[in-house]
Amino acid sequence: MILNKVKISGIFNLKDVEISLDDLSALIAPNNYGKSNVLQAIDFGVFFMEASMKRKLSLMRNRSFIPINTALEGAPFSFELEGVFHDGENAFSFVYGYSFEWLKTSKDDTGAKIIAEYLKLKSDDDLKYRSYINRESTGVAYYLASPTGRCSKQLPVDDNMLALNKLANFDDLFYINAIRQLNKLDVREIGTLQHPDRLFNMIAPDDDVNELSLEYPKEEKVGYYLNSLKELAPDKYELLKDVVTGLLITIEDFEPVQIDLRKDEEEQDDKKLPFRLPETFYDVRVKERYNNQYTSINRISSGSKKIFFILTLVIAAEINKIPLVLLEELENSVHPRLLQNLLTAIVQLAGDTKVLITSHSPYLIKYLEPTKMKFGIPSEEGVADFRSLKPSKVAKVLKNASAEEVSVGEYMFEMLLDMDCDSELVNEYFK
């Protein structure tokens, strides 16, 4: 599955936010604007799709997500995805969305219920989308039961149930593959990674897992993941090694290692330990240019460890066909001179996986295409308003930045900070 666009409204300080997804896209805004809210909202929206009915009810009642901005008071949460999925040799464009009312504190306890849901599909040969799921009230949805019919078959649904989830059990549904792909949709939100040392703590893996699952690399299990990658997908492993050593020029080589901790069983029984010790743990040993031996990855700089982890995560996402990875403040702990090459490396490893990053760094902007950035615009209501730079204004931005002898990033941030909510510059420069 490929995701091309996401729309969000009615959560945190977000109202009618629309993000087009390219191979690498970025949200650019000052601190405390709402960039992180967008990533969390995407993660929330996808998680809600697959959550159990009980968990859905809990999510709709969770006050940490309910917007408290006066401009969003009483607004429902709305979430929409656009993209493409493949069914064998055929590709279909889709639009899927839903809305629900947050819990209200009225005496009759209204709210906490799904109020809308829709799925539209079209093949490459179709001129327009066709409705496959339509729900405009609580209690009942309508779906397309046959290729020649209409979206009119009734489907009873509870207030905390998506029709998408219920239809996943209809084995004979002619578009069941699309339904199941949407039910299994997965995105990964990665935080700021301010403490990359924690990402490489050495602990034993869980039992009975897919060694190349995106559950690895979890923060502390990169060594285990790389060991599995080397054994099961050596071509991907060598690609990762080439990219890492090309980007981090002080690192000549790295190897995952498995360390056996097993002891004599009788000795363990005598001790009668109240907990189970791991039999093995994993580390990544790194050969740096000026060292005469390999050392633990824990000894390299925090910025290098962060880069290492991100690149491993990206290739894991590509292997597992994760359509979207969300990275917050990519520039933290990374030297500005490495940013351009890091962005290139991410795109190289990601394949069809889209990557959405947030940033408040003027250094990062100059390495991104203006059409792939969304800028946070001042808002009188205090809601997040992300807009694209008009293509016709790109040349003007470059010219003005050059005239003021500043970088494009510095110029853009200064312009955003100087803008008023009703500034003419907003309409002049942004869509």
Tally the C-alpha atoms within 13 A of residue 372's C-alpha that lie toward its C-beta.
19
pLDDT of residue 408: 79
168 burial type by CB count under 10 A (0-12 exposed, 13-18 middle, 19+ buried): middle
Residue with tokens 């991907």: 236
pLDDT of residue 179: 96
pLDDT at 349 over 50: yes
pTM for this structure?
A: 0.87
Best-predicted range by mean pLDDT (64-68, 71-75, 114-118, 225-229): 114-118
pLDDT at 325 over 50: yes
Summarize pLDDT for 171-207 with one digit per residue, the tens: 999 999 999 999 999 898 876 555 544 444 433 344 4
Higher pLDDT, 214 or 238: 238
Q: What are phi and psi of 22, to 5 degrees?
A: -105, -175
Angstrom distance (rounded) from CA 102 to CA 56: 11
pLDDT of residue 202: 33
End-to-end CA distance of the chain: 28
Higher pLDDT, 276 or 411: 411
DSSP letters of 356-413? EEEE--HHHHTTS-GGGEEEEPP-TTS-B-EEPBPGGGHHHHHHHHHHTT--HHHHHH
Determine which helix (DSSP H) or strand (DSSP E) holds 416, and give its type and residue range: helix 408-418
Angstrom distance (rounded) from CA 367 to CA 396: 17
Q: Which domains does the chain have, with CATH numbers?
A: 1-186+323-431 (3.40.50), 202-303 (no CATH)
Q: Residue 32's closest CA among 330, 417, 430, 425?
A: 417
Best-predicted range by mean pLDDT (98-102, 217-221, 330-334, 375-379): 98-102
- 159 beta partners: none
Q: Residue 361's closest CA among 371, 373, 349?
A: 373
- 120 beta partners: 95, 131
